[in-house]
Amino acid sequence: MATTYYVKHLVANKLDLKWGISVNSVGSQDIGADMPYPPDYPSTDKTSEYVFSTEQGRILNEYQILYITKGKGLFTSDSTGRKIIPINEGNMFLLFPREWHNYMPDKKTGWKEYWIGFKGENIDSRISNGFFSKSRPVFNVGLHDEIVNLYQRALQVATDQVSGFQVVLSSITNYLLSLAFFYDRNNTFSTSDIEKQINRAKTLISDQYKTIKPQQLADDLCMSYSNFRKIFKMYTGFAPAQYINEIKLTKIKELLSYSQEPIKDIVFASGFNNYEYFFCTFKKKEGITPQQYRLITQYHKTGQK
């Protein structure tokens, strides 16, 4: 018999909604080999939107992030073109509201699943900003006690429902989403030589930030510049030229904090050839001028104006 724990139809007040994410359901199921899926729910649950037939699929009015900790199965959705995607232990997958989807464990293995259902402006923003995509809903995160503990904690919080419980559930959901993004991204790079190449590029930049050029980095790594730029930005979040400038700015800020050297000398010695460009970049990033930054940081260090 399947082991199922869940709490659904959780309520959220106006203050809860302002936190950015509200949780509607949370639970876990352990489906053994050759067991029916979904399990035979109590008659009171037969009309719930959460119940579905694997022959017909389902549409929800919320997001759900599921985690498979043992076994394997299949997943499909409208946004994947109804292509069948294998799901293995260590995978998480994201369901989107108002989108048809279907999933099920393999009859030979069954699976154990954890899920949490939610909605809110925070997740909508992350979708629109490209952190998550309907066309890539499956994440290869691996097996982590940290993730299991978060789901179990969410289930306990949802069961107790003490004052402010939605804020805690929101924070847990945010953390689960961040771990899905983090582990999947790093597992993608660690399975190839890309991670080594990017780390070598970062080392070269750290050693030669004053003079090194993006094209030189690509040449040193025996890569075309377009491919290098694409991979580097995917890994670091910065184009190579932007990353080099970030390192330069960091070094300049260090010098401004303790050195009495003229600011222009520091800037030119750090590899910037155009002081006006540096000045605009610095002020836009820090919100103050280089001189103001120097005065503030040196005052805090010495306690003197």
Averaged pLDDT for residues 190-199 = 74
What are the E-state strand segments in the chain?
Answer: 3-7, 22-31, 58-59, 63-77, 85-88, 91-95, 100-105, 111-119, 138-140
Query: How far is 152 from 241, CA to CA, in rounded Å?
Result: 44
Query: How far is 206 from 221, CA to CA, in rounded Å?
Result: 16
Query: How far is 99 from 114, CA to CA, in rounded Å?
Result: 20
CA quadruple 155, 161, 162, 167: dihedral positive or negative?
positive
Q: Which fold has domain 194-302?
A: Arc Repressor Mutant, subunit A (1.10.10)
Strands 58-59 and 138-140: unpaired
116 vs 198, which has greater pLDDT? 116
Whose tokens are 């936190």? That residue is 19
Q: What confidence score (pLDDT) does residue 222 get?
A: 87
Averaged pLDDT for residues 68-88 = 95
- What share of the chain in percent tops pLDDT 90? 72
Query: How do the domains of the chain map onto residue ranges?
Result: 3-190, 194-302
Whether the model clears a pTM of 0.85, i.e. scores above it, the answer is no
The architecture that CATH gives domain 3-190 is Sandwich (2.60)
Tell me the pLDDT band of 305, cut-offs 50, 70 and 90.
very low
Averaged pLDDT for residues 61-68 = 96
pLDDT in tens, 90-120: 999 999 999 999 999 999 999 999 999 999 9
Query: How far is 174 from 171, CA to CA, in rounded Å?
Result: 5
Averaged pLDDT for residues 200-216 = 90
Averaged pLDDT for residues 253-267 = 91
Averaged pLDDT for residues 128-135 = 92
The token pair that represents 278 in the structure block = 């540096």
Burial class of residue 65 (count of CB atoms within 10 Å of its CB; 0-12, 13-18, 19+): buried
Tell me the pLDDT band of 72, cut-offs 50, 70 and 90.
very high
Check whether 85 has a pLDDT greater than 50. Answer: yes
Q: What confidence score (pLDDT) does residue 42 get?
A: 59
Check whether 191 has a pLDDT greater than 70. Answer: no
Mean pLDDT check: name the lowest of 17-21, 212-216, 222-226, 295-299: 295-299
Check whether 68 has a pLDDT greater than 90. Answer: yes
Q: What confidence score (pLDDT) does residue 142 get?
A: 92
For 154, list phi and psi in degrees, rounded to 5. Answer: -65, -40
Tell me the pLDDT band of 139, cut-offs 50, 70 and 90.
very high
Tell me the pLDDT band of 48, cut-offs 50, 70 and 90.
low
Beta bridge partners of 133: 136
